[in-house]
Amino acid sequence: MRYETLGAAGPQVPALILGCGNFGGIGSPKQFRGKGDSRDAAFEIMDAARAGGITMFDTANAYAGGLSEQWIGEWLADRRASNAIAVTTKVGGPTDAGSGLSRDHIRGQIDASLKRLGVERVALYLAHGPDETVPIEETIGAFEELVEAGKIGAYGVSNVTAAQLSAATTAGRPVNVQNGYNLFDRQAQAELWPVCAAEGVGFSAYSPLAGGLLTGKHRAGQPYAAGSRMALRPPELTDLSLDSAFQALPRLTEIADGYGVPLTTLALAWVLTDPGVTAAVVGPRSEEHLKPMLAAVDLALTPEQRAELVTAINPGA
């Protein structure tokens, strides 16, 4: 596994971070609680991730109503892995105790997260999304207090625009921004990365496989597999429509076949070989799903090869 420093002064992170948003649900919405991975499946995925060299797990207080954090905590205790695995969690999303990024809410939620995780400190704490009702100075001030208290190692933001990231870096020292980024959603390159480069902020890409679309297992006009993320929460693509993405998949699969790798591996390698990306957050649903993701770490693509993939989905790019 390859490791990088997150931003100018953040923690060391593996190239692949295990996303745990499918544990017990599919992300934060209440209506998807109970529709994700079972506890046994989650434990198997965490075991496989650790065996594959992944040493950071990504979750949020809002995932499955806190169940994702709870199961990670139970796994850490059962496997005695608290010193081997770094955890990053988030605050601000909808929970049974409210949402938002006020100082009081952050203070209460970090304690709740630490209790569920069974740890005294998380390596990285992220604002799950902007909160326009709270001054960014209040949010960043609360994060700085948590760093001083030893409850978090560093902090960052997620789902932000370039302007919102700039405001955060003016108010404090975020080391990470976590936004969606994949072959079908490339907005981060133009908007965020100049700010990241100027301010020493690392970029971690979530949904690097477009919610499973870039695994190549889904076909246009065919029903999605029951219980799959595509069936429950199709990705919101920004550079292409879903129809356009499906039209591009056969060509992308053909290129992957030419490399002798699954499309999963090639599409994830495209993200990982981008110089603007520090790490990618992946959410395998099984050990078998994880294998081609791990292989992407060792697949080096040149700028020309990366450009070929973009051209395949957008001939005018």
Beta-strand ranges (E) seen in 207-289 are: 279-282
* pLDDT of residue 317 exceeding 60: no
Residue 235's closest CA among 245, 227, 225?
245
The closest of 108, 24, 105, 28 to 72, measured between CA atoms, is 24
Helix (H) or strand (E) holding 303: helix 303-313
How far apart, in whole angstroms, are the C-alpha atoms of residue 278 and residue 271?
10
- Cβ density class 285-310: b for 16+ within 10 Å, e for less: beeebbebbbbbbebebeeebbeebe
Residue 105 pLDDT: 98
Report CA Rg, the chain: 19
- Can you give 170-181 as a three-state secondary structure string? HHCCCCEEEEEC
Q: Give the CATH number for residue 123.
A: 3.20.20.100
Is 259 known to be catalytic?
Answer: no
The C-alpha atoms of residue 22 and residue 236 are separated, in whole angstroms, by 17
Go through 266-284 and write b for each residue having 16 or more CB atoms within 10 A of its CB, e for each that does not.
Answer: bbbbbbbbbebbbbbbbbb
Burial of 219 by CB count in 10 Å (0-12 exposed, 13-18 middle, 19+ buried)? exposed
Per-residue pLDDT band at 81 (split at 50, 70, 90): very high
Q: Determine the pLDDT at residue 233.
A: 67
pLDDT at 187: 87
Number of compact structural domains in the chain: 1
Which one, of 252, 229, 228, lies nearest residue 240 by Cα? 252
Q: Is pLDDT above 70 for 277? A: yes
**Mean pLDDT for the stretch of residues 79-89:** 96
DSSP H or E segment with residue 90: strand 86-91
**Percent of the chain at pLDDT exceeding 90:** 82
Q: What is the mean pLDDT of the chain?
A: 93
DSSP 23: B
Q: Cβ neighbours of residue 146 under 8 Å, at least 6 residues apart? A: 106, 107, 110, 125, 152, 155
Domain of 269 in residue numbering reads as 3-313
- Least confident window among 25-39, 207-221, 278-292: 207-221
DSSP-assigned letters across all residues of 211-228: GGGGGS---TTSPPPTT-
Amino acid 147: pLDDT:
98
Tell me the mean pLDDT in the region 97-102: 95
Quick: pLDDT tens for 217-258.
766 666 666 666 666 666 778 778 888 888 999 999 999 999
**Residue 198: its pLDDT value, please?**
96
Band (90; pLDDT cuts 50, 70, 90): very high
CA 204/CA 140 separation, integer angstroms: 19
Residue 314's nearest CA partner among 216, 239, 214 is 239
* Closest listed residue to residue 295, CA positions, set 1, 26, 44: 1
From the list 63, 125, 181, 206, the catalytic residue is 63
Strand pairing partners for 37?
A: 23
Token pair for 243: 């129809």
pLDDT in tens, 15-25: 999 999 999 99
- Strands 16-19, 86-91: pairing is unpaired
> pLDDT per residue over 143-196, tens digit each?
999 999 999 999 999 999 999 999 999 999 999 999 999 999 998 888 999 999
Smallest Cα–Cα separation from 86: which of 41, 125, 44?
Answer: 125
